[in-house]
Structure 1
Amino acid sequence: MTRAIWLVCDSLGLGAAPDAAAYGDLGADTFGHIAAACVAAARGPLRLPQFSRLGLPQAHAAIHGQAAPGFVGLPAPEGLWGHAVERARGKDTPSGHWETAGVVLTQPFGVFGQAEHSFPPALLQALVTQGDVPGVLGNCHASGTEIIQRLGAEHLRNGCPIVYTSADSVFQIAAHEQAFGLERLYRLCELARALLADYHIGRVIARPFVGDAETGFSRTVHRRDYALPPPAPTLFDALQAAGGEVIAIGKIDDIFAHRGVSRVVHAYGHDALFDATLAAMAQAGAHSLIATNFVDFDMLYGHRRDVLGYAAALEALDARLPELLQALQPGDLLVVSADHGCDPVWPGSDHTRECIPVLAFAPGLAPRALGRRDSFADIGQSMASHLGLPPLAAGRSFLSPA
């Protein structure tokens, strides 16, 4: 039985990409800075025995010429391990996932670069008029958790949704789940997606929240992403066309604009996502791809610059990896990667342009260092090769020595 299991540790960068200076990210290092912070803190070094078995810290060390703090003297990994750099220009969730699945963006996504008054007045006026809302709040670059604390009470008073963006290609709309209405928020985001047709913005994101001025405001799990569709067929499309099954867990389905996906499993929180992955592995037949995005690394810890929270989440996922490794069957290929960085010690709250890990493990697969891969697409090409598909448009498989 031939299957692939693809785990995306969202934002787990291994250090600045060769062109990071062009993005203001020279020196960013999500994994390395987390490891260093743990050693410096009273909690002690980062403990990742299973990720070390797969080669995560070893891949980081190969990039930097030395081990990250707390990872000196590790044994050789048991699978394939290396790192990849992104060919597409950007550091977005869609471009990182799409390139991994074989589609390299040649045109970068658009962004709203002004920190204040970020959106064109005509765009906002159309949103207000066609969306039947009294106005908008925000219209700036902001952290999603900060802006609802700052503007949540005003939103409750006047009913104006909160619109904001960042250095990434996003248009985000936050609204109170009960007072404004969840379905109304979704409809407004669908309208925004249509209005942004000429701006080439990667995602519109619905950001519902609850709470009040006295207790504070908090986001809920009912986030929804409205992404542009990939501009060409991906690994998902190729597998579906060949009669295979693509099982998308978490926000994977939204990232690919619901294209090439056979079955969607919604789950929230890393444990629930992991449970859903194990359940899919127990049910999926031959010629299947199970893809899971572990979004909390990015959403809860990277963007919020919570270094020790990120570390604890890594350790928690590491502690569960034996369950997945034991569930692998002959013919299964496990691939672990990321989509960009989000260094929790870096200034601001945006993604960082970093190399990503490329880890692969399968029963009987001979361990080997992969070194640097010149495109995330090598990951998708390798999964396509494993699944017996024709070559994708981009990427070079690493499953056989070069």
Structure 2
Amino acid sequence: MPRAFLIVMDSVGIGAAPDAGRYGDSGADTVGHIADFCARERGAQLEVPHLVRLGLGRACYLATGRVPAGLDGALSPGGRYGCAAEVSKGKDTPSGHWEIAGLPVPFEWGYFPKTSPCFPPELVAELCGRAALPGILGDCHASGTEIIERLGAAHMSSGKPICYTSADSVFQIAAHEEAFGLERLYDICAVARELTRPLMVGRVIARPFIGEPGRFERTPRRRDFAIAPPAPTLLSLASREGRQVISIGKIGDIFAHEGTGREVKATGNSALMEATAKAVAELADGGLAFTNLIDFDSLYGHRRDPPGYARALEAFDAQLGQLLGQLQSGDALIVTADHGCDPTWAGTDHTREWVPVLAVSPGTSGASMGRRTSFADVGAACAAHLRLPEVLSGQPAGMLD
């Protein structure tokens, strides 16, 4: 029976989406601008030969009409390649992943205004009352690392957690693991999840950190408290049919643990790819493994670090080459992304972009799958490959057949 492996390169966009202007992102191009940076600033092209062989450069051309520097190889691509635009509103992680899994988001997320304070006072009062808090710090839009550095000492002395948001639909709570307590932070986030649900806020995120003033460091024990998908996804359909599902990285959190099967946590792209390689070796016939690689987004995109992003892409490409060699007859691998986060773009937010869709199955010839009008085509193609009986939103034709 066939197996399916789905890897989301979190934030690896390939050019401004058709509606990017609505989001202030006309001209954004995560991969293209990173490739330009490499050619211009480090004097060496972006080296991602396995992604190029799968058709990344050609996917970029479909999206923008140009092939970025260093991605112009693969005259005979080894996979199906294309680009996809998102139909869900917004440009955040749950929207992108749900749509990839065959469920475009059917509603508008709730966002907090770019004011200070930004949270409704009644929400803050209820949170403090129910969680027995002396108050909160922050109450604004902020970069997580910056606000922890700025308010960490006051947090430790006052016992007030640091609460902040961003352009995404999120309510984030940062607290010191030792001075405040990790489990207490999780408990407060659970209360905040309940309180923000009527506002349709996509995620409440626990952001634990350690260290001393001037040397604070976020830890890998982040936890996302997400709204559950309102309808079946590729994951829940596969689980319902008794198929083995392995969710790697933050997939479990993104889907509120609905149909996510065995959840595997790891810190960093390299460890997550090692977990994916282990899944290739262990996944049962008919199974699905779904991986999110968060470092591209959290460490390099949001922090606007082009050289770091380039190194991360090259390191991923090397591990991808090893993974490709593990695929068995009947396996299908799709590599895609959930949005962009152009490290050369203004601000620190995600960018509304086309994403690459690179599909490979042993014995399948390379060809263009063209421009796809929804990320949901990915989920539909995986469902068709796995011969799941129910139909997801999206058009699978031309992706793996």
* TM-score (ref. length: structure 2): 0.98
Partner of 1:241: 240
2:312 counterpart SS class: helix
Deviation digits for residues 224-269 of structure 1 (CA, Å, limit 9, x no counterpart):
0011000101111111111211100110000000001221111111
Match of 2:335 in 1: 336
More divergent stretch after superposition (272-281 vs 292-301): 272-281
Q: Which amino acid aligns with 2:317?
A: D
> What's 1:386 paired with?
385
Which residue pairs with 1:153 in the alignment?
Answer: 153
The alignment partner of 1:183 has SS state of: helix
Residue 348 of structure 2 is matched in structure 1 by 349
Question: 1:125 corresponds to which residue?
Answer: 125
Residue 24 of structure 1 is matched in structure 2 by: 24
Q: How much has 1:115 moved relative to structure 2? A: 3.5
Cα distance, 1:282 vs. partner? 1.1
Q: In percent, how many aligned pairs have the same letter? A: 54
Q: How far is 1:45 from its partner? A: 1.2
8 Å contact from structure 1 (residues 385, 391) kept in 2: no
How far off its partner does 1:43 sit? Answer: 4.9
1:322 CA displacement: 1.9
User: Quick check: 2:80–2:368 contact (8 Å CA) kept in 1?
Assistant: yes
Contact kept, 8 Å, 2:59 with 2:356, in 1: the verdict is: yes
RMSD of aligned alpha carbons: 1.3
The CA distance in 2 between the partners of 1:72 and 1:253, in whole Å, is: 36
User: Pairwise mapping of residues 3-402 of structure 1 onto structure 2 (< 5 A)?
Assistant: 3-213=3-213, 215-399=214-398
Q: Secondary structure at the match of 2:37?
A: helix
- Alpha-carbon shift at residue 61 of structure 1 (Å): 1.8
TM-score (norm 1): 0.97
Secondary structure in structure 1 of the residue aligned to 2:270: helix
How many Å separate the matches in 1 of 2:308 and 2:397?
Answer: 33
Instruction: Return the letter of the residue paired with 2:69.
Output: P
- Count of matched residue pairs: 401
> What secondary structure is seen at the aligned counterpart in 2 of 1:318?
helix
Instruction: For 1:263, give the aligned amino acid.
Output: R
Structure 1 residue 391, shift from structure 2 partner: 4.3
Matched residue of 1:8: which SS? strand
* Secondary structure, aligned partner of 2:334: strand
- Aligned partner letter, 2:57: P
Q: What SS does structure 1 have at the residue aligned with 2:81?
A: strand
- Whole-Å Cα distance in 1 between the matches of residues 302 and 36 of structure 2? 19
SS of alignment partner, residue 390 of structure 1: coil
CA distance in 1, matches of 2:390, 2:315: 36
SS in 1 for 2:356: strand
- CA 1:279–1:249 in 2, change beyond 3 Å: closer, same or farther? same
Give the distance between the partners of 1:216 and 1:27, measured in 2 at CA.
36
SS in 1 for 2:199: coil
Say if 2:53 and 2:73, in contact at 8 Å, map to a contact too.
no
Distance 2:74 2:236 in 1: 39
**In 2, Cα distance between equivalents of 1:392 and 1:166:** 35
C-alpha displacement of 1:50: 0.6
How far apart are 1:280 and its partner, in Å? 1.4
In 1, Cα distance between the equivalents of 2:80 and 2:239? 27
Deviations 1:83-124 (A, max 9, x none): 000011110100100011111112121100224211000001
> Are the equivalent residues in 2 in contact too, given 1:80–1:361 (CA < 8 A)?
yes
Q: Structure 2 CA distance, aligned partners of 1:327 and 1:100?
A: 24
Distance 1:391 1:77 in 2: 32
The offset of 1:73, in angstroms, is 5.0
Secondary structure of 2:83's aligned partner: strand
Displacement of 1:31 in angstroms is 0.6
Q: Distance in 2 between matches of 1:319 and 1:370?
A: 25
Q: Residue 393 of structure 1: CA displacement? A: 3.4
Where 1:139 maps in the other structure, the secondary structure is: strand
Give CA deviations for 1:186-212 in whole Å, capped at 9, x if unaligned: 001000000012100111100001111
Code of the residue aligned with 1:375 in structure 2: it is S
Q: C-alpha separation between the residues in 2 aligned to 1:39 and 1:387?
A: 41
Aligned in 2, Cα 1:186/1:343: closer, same or farther, shift over 3 Å? same
Contact 2:383 2:392 in 1 (8 A): no
In 2 relative to 1, CA 367–391 (structure 1 residues): closer, same or farther, beyond 3 Å? farther
Structure 1 alignment gaps of length 5 or more: none
Deviates more, 1:274-283 or 1:223-232: 274-283
- The one-letter amino acid of 1:178's match is E
Q: Distance in 1 between matches of 2:67 and 2:398?
A: 26
Distance 2:239 2:400 in 1: 28
Whole-Å Cα distance in 2 between the matches of residues 281 and 395 of structure 1? Answer: 26
**Equivalent-residue separation in structure 2 for 1:118 and 1:152 (angstroms):** 19
Q: CA deviation at 1:346?
A: 1.0
The answer (yes or no) to whether the contact 1:211–1:218 under 8 Å persists in 2 is yes
The code of the aligned residue for 1:201 comes to V
- Compared with structure 1, are the counterparts of its residues 70 and 400 closer, same or farther at alpha carbon in structure 2 (3 Å cutoff)? closer
Equivalent position amino acid for 2:156 in 1: L
After superposition, the Cα gap between the structure-2 partners of 1:183 and 1:323, relative to the gap in structure 1 and judged at 3 Å, is same
Secondary structure of the 1:247 match is strand
1:196 alignment partner, SS class: helix
Aligned counterparts of 2:317 and 2:49: Cα–Cα separation in 1: 7
Spell out, residue by residue over 1:9-49, the C-alpha distance to the aligned partner (whole angstroms, 9 max, x if none): 00001111101111111111111111111111125211010
